[in-house]
């Protein structure tokens, strides 16, 4: 990136596969704007829904192995829309404490009772479900936790949801494109079917390199969302050119599987190098490789000093993460190469010795 005229290597973007700057994605975006204009002009249910949106929805459904998919303008809106459609007062939503803010807000705004369990603690979750008298129950989890990079115990969640007659929804914002043989995400990685996880949501602004989000599931789920999800109904459809560009990135993330392989190699190199240098890496196998710092001021100071050395990693501080767990949220991308990773490791090593 060039910031104020200075060239820095960014290690904090969610463009995990380097598709945001792919020439074919850029060309598709331009062609989409030529064909449809820049804005969609209206909400989906008025006349903002174009063939490009529709084709993308069909391709996303096929890619994720589900009957249908529905586009939302952002992931935040998708989560609000789904949860407030599926739940009402008298119901209970069960959420991992480290879920993304949009899932927590979705739970709060739905009017259902929100019960949070300790991070990945399926025993605590099961206890809460046993004691719940709610009419309807829904378990909500990130697939890959956005600030920690670890995976949710989704297979266990599937069993618990079944035992306690609860719904299950996975937000795979950081898994789609990156995990699984074909890039279909955390559920493919864990070999879980659409019937085991009936509600899947993922964003398009990360590994797909564009913007927006979608929910995929059964015909009934999608029809229910179209009729009821206010954050789908009462907002302007995202620009059709975004849908055209996303169709291209979806195609590339499947055909250019070397992007996932290269990313895995970079993740291994980073982790090996960090362990050799005794850097405080967290337990993550994904593209999100945070360094736990703890103190907020120290994390901010490290981020500033890295910047002076030509490396951009923003410090993630409370309230985004719990008090005392400020961190450098390092993310790796296919756009990096081994020399970038080496430079990051050496710079961190030097700076960490000084704190």
Ligand X SMILES: Cc1ncc(COP(=O)(O)O)c(C=O)c1O
x-or-dash pattern for ligand X, window 146-185, by CB under 6 A? x------------------------x-x------------
Active site residues: 146, 174, 206
Contact between 96 and ligand X per CB under 6 A: no
* Closer residue to ligand X, CB minimum distance, 169 or 244: 169
Are the C-beta atoms of 193 and 64 separated by less than 8 Å? no
330 φ, ψ (degrees, to nearest 5): -85, 130
Closest CA to 111 of 141, 129, 134: 134
**Among positions 50, 85, 92, 102, the unique one binding ligand X when judged by CB under 6 A:** 102
User: What DSSP assignment string belongs to 329-353?
Assistant: EEE--TT--HHHHHHHHHHHHHHHH
The answer to the question of residue 95 lying near ligand X (CB under 6 A) is no
Burial readout 313-329 (b: 16 or more C-beta within 10 A, e: otherwise): bbbbbeeebeeebbbbb
Smaller CB separation from ligand X, 147 or 279: 147
Which of these ranges, 73-81, 183-191, 256-264, 308-316, lies near ligand X under the rule CB under 6 A?
73-81
CA of residue 142 relative to chain centroid, distance: 8
Least separation in angstroms between residue 196's CB and ligand X is 20
Which lies closer to ligand X via its Cβ, residue 84 or residue 203? 203
The residue range among 37-45, 70-78, 117-125, 264-272 that interacts with ligand X, by the rule CB under 6 A, is 70-78
DSSP class of 236: B
Report CA Rg, the chain: 20
74 binds ligand X (CB under 6 A): yes
By CB under 6 A, name the binding residues for ligand X.
74-76, 100, 102, 142, 146, 171, 173, 203, 205, 213
């Amino acid at each position: 990136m060039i910031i104020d005229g200075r060239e820095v290597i960014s290690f904090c973007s969610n463009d995990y596969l380097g598709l945001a700057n792919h020439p074919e994605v850029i060309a598709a975006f331009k062609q989409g704007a030529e064909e449809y204009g820049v804005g969609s002009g209206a909400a989906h249910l008025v006349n903002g829904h174009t063939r490009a949106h529709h084709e993308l929805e069909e391709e996303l459904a096929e890619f994720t192995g589900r009957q249908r998919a529905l586009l939302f303008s952002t992931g935040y809106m998708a989560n609000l829309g789904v949860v407030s459609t599926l739940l009402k007062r008298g119901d209970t939503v069960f959420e991992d404490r480290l879920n993304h803010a949009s899932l927590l807000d979705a739970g709060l705004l739905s009017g259902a009772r929100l019960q949070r369990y300790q991070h990945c603690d399926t025993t605590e979750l099961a206890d809460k479900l046993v004691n719940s008298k709610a009419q309807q129950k829904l378990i909500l989890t990130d697939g890959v936790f956005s600030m920690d990079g670890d995976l949710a115990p989704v297979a266990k969640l599937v069993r618990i949801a079944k035992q306690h007659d609860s719904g299950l929804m996975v937000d795979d914002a950081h898994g789609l494109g990156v995990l699984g043989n074909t890039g279909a995400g955390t559920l493919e990685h864990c070999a879980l079917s659409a019937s085991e996880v009936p509600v899947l949501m993922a964003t398009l602004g990360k590994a797909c390199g564009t913007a927006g989000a979608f929910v995929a599931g059964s015909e009934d789920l999608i029809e229910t969302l179209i009729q009821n999800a206010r954050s789908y109904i009462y907002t302007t459809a995202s620009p059709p050119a975004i849908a055209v560009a996303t169709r291209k990135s979806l195609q590339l993330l499947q055909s250019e599987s070397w992007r996932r392989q290269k990313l895995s190699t970079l993740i291994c190199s980073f982790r090996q190098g960090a362990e050799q240098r005794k850097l405080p890496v967290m337990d993550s196998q994904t593209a999100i490789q945070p360094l736990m710092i703890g103190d907020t001021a120290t994390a901010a100071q490290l981020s500033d000093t890295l910047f002076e050395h030509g490396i951009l990693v923003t410090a993630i501080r409370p309230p985004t993460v719990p008090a005392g767990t400020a961190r450098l949220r390092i993310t790796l991308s296919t756009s990096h190469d081994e020399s970038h990773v080496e430079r990051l490791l050496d710079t961190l090593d030097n700076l960490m010795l000084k704190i």
